Amino acid sequence: MTQPRRGFYIAGMPYPASQLAAGLYLVATPIGNLGDITVRALQTLAGADLIACEDTRVSRKLLEHYGIATATTPYHDHNAAAVRPALLRRIADGAAIALISDAGTPAISDPGYKLVREARDAGLAVTALPGASSVLAALVASGLPTDRFLFEGFLPVKAAQRRSRLSILSRVPASLVLFESGSRIEATLRDLAATFGDREAAICRELTKLHEEVRRAPLPALAAHYAGEAETRGEFVIVIAPPGEEEAPGTDQIDAMLRAALLRVSVKDAVGEIVAATGLPRRDVYRRALELAKERSDAIA
């Protein structure tokens, strides 16, 4: 059987590609199980003039699995600034370009959003094709509240910056979703337990794959588990329950949160962060922020 030039296969059966208008197409790809891709996504990848990939070697496995022969080009953090103008010119000249990440929905924790922004600023068509998302898969599998959540992505690599950020996040009145690598999961869980206390959390690893693991327990127990002989290969999604009413912040904690924020941003922005995270009256937080800022200024002087 001869493979059509612009098409794909599902279980050995050929299907035609979509006829695409010029534009940028944001295509969600599987986060592990190759079966977790939509027919529309396959039609678009097969019909595009070019596929911009985070890593062409990773994407090639998916494309070859479905018999898609569309040309690919790398688009990632290290080359995005140089490649982006060329992609936009091709779209303006009439090309249909699909953007995919290594896994999940593009433009989440990758440079895709800059391409989307500049395409829209240039008046070019942008189409999003929804699909797999490790954020949502982990959230719904965790058994933790889903009515309100904050996706934080990767925490800072440096320990001091990570702890500073966690002190702010600890008061967010929603479930938190974080990404972490296997090499840093032990240190991150240790800092989470120290900052969030006994709050319940879920560690999700190898989602949708053969050895999928979702482990839910209080943070200190999770930290102890991953400080031992637990498997840490791959990337992790951490879901943390929102604070309970009994965790209302005390004066010392508010001061710690303000001090951490004032190291990064202005008094106004620091106040905004703490008010959003705690729900405390802006006037009270602002007054305390001014006092702490003055103390810091006097100490430096």
For residue 138, is pLDDT > 90? yes
List C-alpha distances in Å: 48 to 17, 20, 84, 211, 248: 8, 7, 17, 33, 52
Mean pLDDT, rounded, for 12-25: 95
What percent of the chain is modeled with pLDDT above 70?
Answer: 95
Q: Choose between 166 and 247: higher pLDDT.
A: 166
- In angstroms, the Cα distances linking 30 to 24, 34, 101, 134 are 19, 6, 10, 9
- For the ranges 62-71, 150-159, 273-282, the lowest mean pLDDT is seen at 273-282
Question: Superfamily for 135-244?
Answer: Tetrapyrrole methylase, C-terminal domain (3.30.950.10)
Q: What does the pLDDT look like over 265-294, one tens digit per residue?
A: 899 988 888 887 777 788 888 999 999 888
Residue 192 has pLDDT above 80, yes or no: yes
For residue 19, pLDDT over 60 is answered with yes
- CATH number of this structure's domain 7-132: 3.40.1010.10
What confidence tens digit (pLDDT) does each residue in 73-121 have? Answer: 999 999 999 999 999 999 999 999 999 999 999 988 788 999 999 999 9
Mean pLDDT of the chain: 91
Same fold flag, 7-132 and 135-244? no
pLDDT band at 180 (very low <50, low <70, confident <90, very high): very high
Task: Reduce the DSSP state of residue 256 to 3 states and report it.
Answer: helix
Give the domain ranges of the chain: 7-132, 135-244, 249-300
